[in-house]
Structure 1
Amino acid sequence: MGGVTVCVCSVTTYNPLRNSPQAPDREAKEQVFLLWAQRCRSSVDQRSAESRIVCRHRQTRVDPPQIAQSDILKELQSNAVASVGNYILGKTIGEGSFGKVKLGWHKLTSQQVAVKIVDKIHAPAVVREIDGWRALRHPNIAQLYEVLTTESKIYMVTEFVPGGEAFDMILRRGRMDDRSPLAKRLFRQVVEAVKYCHDKNLVHRDLKLENVMLTEDMGNVKLIDFGFTREVALPTQKQLLDTYCGSVAYAAPEMIIGKQYLGPQADIWSLGVILFTLVCGFLPFDDDSENEILVQKKIKELDYEMPEFLSDTCKDLIARILKLDPADRIALNDILHHPWFS
C-alpha cells in the first residue's frame, strides 16, 4: 500500500498518500465513572480563542456495528443510500474532533471503513490533521486511507476498528486487573503508538480512552483522532505550545493553568490518566458534583487517591507519570521498561 488518496469529482479526492482500500470504595467510584459517562465529553476546540467547549453526550453512542454481507447488499440496492466517491455511508458510529464518524464500505470490495465527515469551515484544522496522520504507519495507529471533498464537506476515509472504544469496554466490563497480561499489552501498545508519533516529531494532544480503539478480539489497540496533532521541533529544542486543547479529564496541569507547555510531556500525563482509568475503572480527577472547575482544581493540586487493590509496581508507574512538574515525568522509553510490564 502506498499513501493517502485525496479525491475531487462532484466529489473531490485529495491524495497526499495513495493508500485507499484496494478496489478490484471502588464500587462507588465506578458508579461515579458511569454517571460521568452519561454526561457530555468535553473537548476544547483549538480554533476558538475562548477555548469553546464542544460537548458530546454518551447517550448518542452507537455500539460497534456488526454488518452482515446481506445488510450491505440491501444498502447497495437502496435508492436512498448515502454515498460519497466509491463508498456507501452507513450509521453514525462516533464523534471526532470537528465532525461525526460514519461506518462505510467500499462499493466494489465491501471493505469496511470509518468515514469522518467534517464541514469545510474547519478545513484549516483538518488539513493539519491530514498532514500529521498521513505519514503515520504503525500497527497500533488506525490508518488514513483516503480524503474526499465536496463543495461543503471533507470526508476522511480511515481504517475501521470493529471492537469499539476502550472507554466503552470499561463501561461494559469494569476495570481491567492490572496484573493481567492483557492490561499490560494494551497499555504498552498505546505507549508504543505515542512514542512512534513523538519520534516523528508529532504530539497527539487528545489522548484518552475514547480515542483508543480495540480490535474485534479486544486484544490489540488502534489510536485514532489526530485533530489536535501538532508538529513540533526536535526534542532537544524543547518547543513550547500554548493551545489549550483535548479533554479536561485527561489534560495536563500546565495546560489547564494556561502556561506554555511541552507537547510530549502533556501526552505523557494523558497516558497516566489512561492507565489509571483502565485499571481502576474510574477517572483519577473526576468530581461527584460534575463541576468541571473542581476537576481542574483537583488536577492542579494532584488530588487523587491511589486504590489499594493495585499492585505496587502499577502504583509506582502511575505515580511516576502523574507528576505536576513536566520535567519530573517518566520518559516514554522508561515507561516501556518499567517493572510493571515484567
Structure 2
Amino acid sequence: MPEKPILGKYELGKLLGCGAFAKVYHAREISNGRSVAIKVINKSNISNKDGLPNDRIEREVCIMRQLQHPYIVRLYEVLATKTKIYFVMEYVKGGELFNQISSKGRFTEDLSRKCFQQLISAVNYCHSRGIYHRDLKPENVLIDENGDLKVSDFGLSATTDQIQSFDGLLHTVCGSPAYVAPEVLTIKGYDGAKTDIWSCGIMLFVMIAGYFPFYDQNLMLMYKKIYKGEFRFPKWISPDVKRILSRLLDVNPATRITVEEIIRDPWFRKGLKFIKFSEEEENTKINSLTNCLNAFDIISFSQGLDISGLFKSNNPVDDLERIVVEESPESVIERIEEVGKKENFRMKKKKEWGIEMKVQNGKLTMSLSLDVYRLTEQLVVVEIQNSDGDDGLYKDVWRNKLKPVILSKRGAELHISDS
C-alpha cells in the first residue's frame, strides 16, 4: 500500500483481489470522491524474455478502451510510474457473480434469465466489434449495486486481426477448464464467437443448477466429458431451459445456437424490457460514445505518450498518420467516398465512421484503412494507415488525393491529380 496518493489523483483503499500479475484495490478519486477500482501491475512482473504477459496486458488495454457498454466494466484511464502501471476502472460494488451464486446455492430461473440476458447483450456488443472474450466465467463477471452484470477481465481476449488467414479461425488454446468449448481442445482451430456462446451456456447452467454440467477431479476425464457433451439436467429445470441449454452446449460449433437465435428464443425474451441489442439501440443508450475520444484515447494518439511505452515495447506504428480537422465525421466520410468513386477505388464502409479502401495502379496494389473519431463537437481526428501493399502508392494516394480533400471544406471541388 503506497503512503502517497497515486500521482496525486487517487488514494488506494482495501485490497479487492490478486492475480498472477496484478493486484486490484478499491480507491477514491481525490478531486471528487468518486470510487474507482485500480489494477496495480508491477513492471518487473511483465518484463520476461518471451513478452507474453506484456502483450496480454497491452491487448487488454487496447480492447477495453474501445468498449462502452452498460454491462461491461469501463476503463477510465491508464497511469504509469517508473515501476508500476495503474488501470483506473469502474468500481463495481457487488463483487463477483461467482460469490453471488455460491452464497445462494443457485439462482431462480427468473434471476438466471435476467443475468443471461445482460451477459448476451455484452457478448453481442463485443462480437459486433470483432472482439472475443475467450474467458467468460462467473469469476470474470461482476454485479453492481443494482444487481446488473459487468463483464470484466479481457486479458485473454482476441480480435479479428488475430484470426489466421488460411482458415479464418483462432488457434491459441486458452480459457478456464470447466468453461472451455470442446473445439478449443483440438488442434483444428475455433471460432471465437462460438466458443464465447458455449461459455455463456456453462454460466447459465451453473446459475440455474448450482453446479457444473461437466466436472471431474481428473482434468483429462473432464475434458473427455466436455468433448462428448456428456451431462445431465437437474430435475427442477424447466423444458424451455433444457431446450436452450441443449443448443448452447452443442458440441458441434456449426449447429450451436447463435446470438441472433438466442435473442429470438421465447424463453430468453421474457421480461426483455431494458436490454438493448441492436446497434442503433446500443448507440442511443451509451450516447454514441464508441467513436468519441476520451482522455486516454487522446494520450494514446501521441507517439510521445504511446501506450506501448508503458510496457517497454518498441513497436513503432508504420505508415500511420493522424490529422485534426474542423468538420463533422459524416462530412469527412462523404467527401472521401466522392474521391473514391471518382478514382474507381474499391471501398467498404466500416460500422462506425470509417472506410477500407483498395487501390490498384498497374501492377501495384495497396489497401488502406481510414477512421474518423470525434474529438469535440467541432473537431474530429482522421486516422489513416497503410494496411497492406506498396508504400509508394499509399503515400501518393494519401498525400495527393485524400489528404487535400480532408483538409479543405471545399474538398469535393478540388482538382484531383491522376499521378
Q: Deviation per CA, 1:248-287: give whole Å up to 9, x if none.
A: 1100111123431111111111000010001111111122
The aligned residue for residue 207 of structure 1 is 136
Higher relative CO (Cα under 8 Å, sequence separation at least 6) belongs to: 1
Aligned-residue offset at 1:338: 1.0
Conserved? CA contact 2:162–2:170, under 8 Å: no
Is 2:244 aligned against 1:308? no
Conserved? CA contact 1:141–1:193, under 8 Å: yes
The aligned residue for residue 156 of structure 2 is 228
Candidates 257, 279, 298, aligned match of 2:186 = 257
Conserved? CA contact 1:232–1:239, under 8 Å: no
Aligned-residue offset at 1:171: 0.6
Conserved? CA contact 2:23–2:41, under 8 Å: yes
CA RMSD for the aligned pairs? 2.0
Is 2:261 aligned against 1:334? yes
Distance 1:217 1:232, change over 3 A: same
The aligned residue for residue 4 of structure 1 is none
Candidates 224, 236, 241, aligned match of 1:297 = 224
The aligned residue for residue 196 of structure 1 is 125
Residues paired across the two proteins, number: 258
Under a length normalisation based on structure 1, what TM-score does the superposition of the two structures give? 0.71
Aligned-residue offset at 1:124: 2.0
Instruction: Tell me, in whole angstroms, the C-alpha distance in 2 between the residues paired with 1:258 and 1:89.
Output: 44
Distance 1:284 1:98, change over 3 A: farther
Distance 1:82 1:326, change over 3 A: farther
The aligned residue for residue 333 of structure 2 is none
| AA aligned opposite 1:84 | I
| AA aligned opposite 2:149 | V
The aligned residue for residue 5 of structure 2 is 83
Aligned-residue offset at 1:96: 4.9
Query: Which of the two has higher C-alpha Rg?
Result: 2
Instruction: Tell me, in whole angstroms, the C-alpha distance in 2 between the residues paired with 1:250 and 1:309.
Output: 22
Conserved? CA contact 1:138–1:193, under 8 Å: yes
Candidates 175, 178, 203, aligned match of 2:106 = 175
Instruction: Tell me, in whole angstroms, the C-alpha distance in 2 between the residues paired with 1:129 and 1:330.
Output: 27
For residues 23-172 of structure 1, what are the structure 2 equivalents within 5 Å? 81=3, 83-85=5-7, 86-96=9-19, 98-120=21-43, 121=46, 122-172=53-103
Q: Kindly, what percent of the aligned residue pairs are identical? A: 40
Aligned-residue offset at 1:80: 6.3
Q: Deviation per CA, 1:183-220: give whole Å up to 9, x if none.
A: 211110000000000000100011001111111132x1
Instruction: Tell me, in whole angstroms, the C-alpha distance in 1 between the residues paired with 2:254 and 2:24.
Output: 37
Counterpart secondary structure, 2:89: strand
Conserved? CA contact 2:42–2:84, under 8 Å: yes
Instruction: Tell me, in whole angstroms, the C-alpha distance in 2 between the residues paired with 1:328 and 1:222.
Output: 29
The aligned residue for residue 389 of structure 2 is none
Moved over 3 A (4+): 79-83, 95-98
Conserved? CA contact 1:91–1:102, under 8 Å: yes
Aligned-residue offset at 1:98: 3.7
| AA aligned opposite 1:128 | R
Q: Deviation per CA, 1:39-71: give whole Å up to 9, x if none.
A: xxxxxxxxxxxxxxxxxxxxxxxxxxxxxxxxx
Counterpart secondary structure, 1:283: coil
Candidates 177, 188, 195, aligned match of 1:248 = 177
The aligned residue for residue 18 of structure 1 is none
